[in-house]
Amino acid sequence: MSLRAKPNQVDVRVWTAERGEMTERGDRLATEEPLEIRLRMGETTWTVAVTMRTPGEDEELAAGFLYAEEVVARRERIRRIVPVVPPDESPGSEGTNIVEVELEDGPEPELRSLERHFFATSACGVCGKAGLERLRLRVPAAVSVGPVIDPALLRDLPDRLRAAQGVFASTGGLHAAALFDRDGRLLAVREDVGRHNALDKLLGRAFLDGRLPLSDHLVLVSGRASYELLQKCLVAGVPFVCAVSAPSSLAVELAERFGLTLVGFLRGDRFNVYAGPHRIAGLDAEPSAVKRRGDRLFPTIR
């Protein structure tokens, strides 16, 4: 289907107060609209999620979301992903807010895990001990050894991400997720009003290209590191996750339990290592050098 893409930013008029004077000028805002993700197999169609997102890379978003939520585990299961124009809209309308993922014939998809996502804001997520237990069943072993990264390389990553954020440069209102290789080369960037949507787009592209698991790569997110972002990286095989802002407590617990490296407050010349210090060059901390307190793992850094 040939559709004009919905815009990812819109023009507005604003009045700016500065030094006691009001000035009218033009500005640009990041677009936020709902996306309905549907699954279809044969004659049966399910609506599995509605999320607020920035239009663009909707197919990647749908694929990444369905992979992270255990609905589609293999790229071969997806026959095609297509935009859908509702019957009450003009065929020549600009874009669409519905995307349909058509599956090959096979077992009916398991959708119980998606109930919490039926309507989601652009910043939502789900956290809880039950989620950790589900991950324990899906990812029974720790992630791969992965790369060991020099601290100087880590400190350069936010600038490389910012330079590639085209829509952020125009609007100042988007989250971003970036994929780097072990040498710090920027491989892909995705932007969205929702931090989890940006990551779904990034990992969805890798899934559709048959590149998972990303066992020799780093992911950098422009905001905080939540549990939901960590679990998406975990199921995609990403061993090293960095965030410009803070992690949540449950994100740190997930990283410790599954052997991820988690870096937060990656800004300027400093950063914090919350888990997996053995992947930071120069830190005297081996994967086995941990202390166990209750059900949590604490790295011992000498």
Q: Would you name the residues annotated as active-site residues?
A: 124
- Bridge partner residues of 35 (DSSP): 51
- What are 178's two structure tokens? 């970036």
Cβ–Cβ < 8 Å for 248, 214: no
Q: Per-residue b/e over 216-229, b at no fewer than 16 CB within 10 Å?
A: ebbbbbbbbbbbbb
Cβ–Cβ < 8 Å for 51, 197: yes
- What are 181's two structure tokens? 């290789």
User: Which residue carries 């339990």 as its tokens?
Assistant: 257
- Vertex 214: Cα angle to 120 and 114 (nearest 5): 25
Cβ–Cβ < 8 Å for 135, 258: yes
Cβ–Cβ < 8 Å for 203, 228: no
CA distances from 48 to 62, 112, 167, 241 (A): 10, 10, 28, 28
Rounded CA-CA distance 182/41 in Å is 39
Q: Is 40 helix (H, G, I), strand (E, B) or coil?
A: strand
- Vertex 243: Cα angle to 240 and 245 (nearest 5): 155
Sheet holding 261-267, edge to edge: 186-192, 175-181, 217-221, 240-243, 261-267, 270-275
Q: Report CA torsion sign: 54, 212, 111, 141.
A: negative
DSSP symbol at 76: G
| β pairing state of 261-267 and 240-243 | parallel
